[in-house]
Structure 1
Amino acid sequence: MTAALAVDGLTAGYGGAPVLHDVTVEVAPGALVALVGANGAGKTTLLRATSGLLAPAGGAVRLDGQDLRGVGVEDRARRGLAHVPEGRGVVVELTVDENLHLGGLWAHRGTAARRAAVEDVYALFPSLDRRRAALGHQLSGGERQMLAIGRALVAGPRVLLLDEPSLGLAPQVVAQIMALLRARCDATGLAVLLAEQNVAAALSVADRGVVLDLGRVVVTRPATDLAHDEALRHAYLGF
């Protein structure tokens, strides 16, 4: 089976200083892969280089087998690669419903398809359904994170890149978001690459874990194996 997302030998950095060194990661359709490691390991850089926000110095990114070299951020999004950066970015002056519709506009979806996709997100996140008319700045941190993820889903991606969705959220909200992501992968075939410092939460729902250390992949194993490997956890994951 062709990987939904294949990152092959990616090298990238800032101002000529490399952060990633020959990183290779694959995500199959319907799989959730947890990208874990200490702060500064290169997780955010990898997602930025994958989505096109950062030009890599070497390597390739393929979406459903198609090489994305030379393809810009917007075109990658239209082809089915969605990126939710760290920080729960939503348009705080717009309502929940307006924010969600922006996701459909970005993907150039028609009105009927966009409305259906928005309703699908409301079914996935009932707390957003109850707050359709609320402005972005009126939402809790958890609701903003759900809205950021929901807006990406309205675009109908095949691959979703998520950067630290649990940051600053209460444990029960984190558990809810992780469970919903797992359910989405299982139900729709969505492929998710999840960069997360809450290692235990990420591995609890992931199929595989990829451990980054100083910009290099040091371990790729089934998530349950990583979660139960005490020596590896102490060496790289801090729990």
Structure 2
Amino acid sequence: MLEVKDLVVAYGAEPALDGVSLSVPDGALTAVLGANGAGKTTLLRTISGLLRPRSGTAALDGRDLTRLPAEEIVRLGVAHVPQSGGVITELTVEENLRLGGLWRWRRGDLARRIAAVYELFPPLADRRARAAAALSGGERQMLALGRALVAEPRLLLVDEPSLGLAPRVVAQIMAVLRRLCDDTGLTVLLVEQNARSALSVADRALVLSLGSVAVAGEAAALAADDRLRHAYLGF
């Protein structure tokens, strides 16, 4: 579904991505792993149109996204959940979810899509009229994911969903992402520093190191390779 080729992105003179290429299969969960500063967040921000590359392409079903405005990329079926979620704390849970349908062309069935999010994340249903500022960290992450899902994306970009969350909540979030792939055919590109959790649910994985792809392959194979795990993933 997504094909990234020779992507170069720089902040000033320093490249954050230096010739990155990767493929994201339709309906699969692909994990992007690596240390802080490896270029993981930059990769997602470039795919979603928030950054412009110096060169290279990121194509969705053959259509290059790198020169399109972010709202057009959303209309094509790409949703981006940024690091720390990015929910609007002054708005209620329901109001945040309604924002998820803003740029998608199918807006008539918004109530059905919001109801599906409440079914996926029951704590949000109980707090639908509450301001997002009153939610726990885990509930805010659920809300950020739910807002993206309201748009019914084909490709979901998720940046560090485990950041600052308790292990139990991390396991719940990862299980939901896996279930979405299996049950709905959603394609997920997951950026994570928690390599163990990401590999437990991913189909494929790649490791970024200093802006380049250090290794890529089946997630189970990477998790089973002691040398690779110790060298790149820290466990």
In structure 2, the residue matched to 1:213 is 209
Q: What is aligned with 2:117?
A: 121
Q: Distance in 1 between matches of 2:112 and 2:204?
A: 31
Which deviations, in whole Å up to 9, do the C-alpha atoms of 1:203-228 show, x marking residues without a partner? 00000110111111011111111111
2:185 is equivalent to residue 204 of structure 1: no
2:147 counterpart (135, 142, 151): 151
Q: Deviations over 1:148-169 (max 9, x none)?
A: 0110111111101111000000
**1:24 counterpart = 2:35:** no
Runs of 4+ aligned structure 1 residues displaced above 2 Å come to 108-111
| Preserved CA contact (<8 Å) 2:47 2:66 | no
TM-score w.r.t. the length of structure 2 is: 0.97
Task: Give yes or no for contact 2:4–2:58 (8 Å, CA) kept in 1.
Answer: yes
Unaligned runs of 5+ in 2: none
Letter in 2 for 1:152: A
Q: CA deviation at 1:108?
A: 4.2
- Is the aligned partner of 1:102 residue 2:76? no
Equivalent in the alignment of 2:186: 190
Corresponding residue for 1:75?
A: 72
For 2:171 and 2:26, how far apart are their aligned partners in 1?
A: 23
* Contact 1:50/1:61 (<8 A) preserved: yes
Q: Deviations for 1:114-163, whole angstroms, at most 9, x for unmatched residues?
A: 11111111111111112111110110000000100110111111101111
Is the 1:209–1:226 Cα contact (8 Å) retained in structure 2?
A: yes
Contact 2:34 2:207 in 1 (8 A): yes
Q: Residue 88 of structure 2 corresponds to which residue in structure 1?
A: 91
**How far apart in 2 are the matches of 1:30 and 1:130?**
31
2:160 aligned with 1:164: yes
2:46–2:66 CA contact under 8 A, matched in 1: no
Aligned letter for 2:35? A
Q: Deviations over 1:26-49 (max 9, x none)?
A: 111210000001111110111111
Distance across 2 between alignment mates of 1:198 and 1:69: 28
Normalising by structure 1, report the TM-score.
0.95
The answer to which of 174-183 and 63-72 deviates more is 63-72
User: In structure 2, what residue type is equivalent to 1:49?
Assistant: T
The answer (yes or no) to whether the contact 2:93–2:128 under 8 Å persists in 1 is: yes
What is the Cα deviation at residue 25 of structure 1? 1.4
The one-letter code sitting in structure 1 at the alignment partner of 2:36 is: N
Q: CA RMSD in A?
A: 1.1
User: For the Cα contact (< 8 Å) 1:127–1:143, is it kept in 2?
Assistant: yes
Question: How many angstroms does 1:185 deviate by?
Answer: 0.8
2:38 alignment counterpart: 41
Aligned residue pair count:
235
Which runs of no fewer than 5 residues in structure 1 stay unpaired?
none
- Equivalent pair of 2:49/2:67 in contact (CA under 8 Å): no
Deviation, 1:106, is 2.8
Q: Contact conserved, 1:13 with 1:45, CA < 8 A, in 2?
A: no
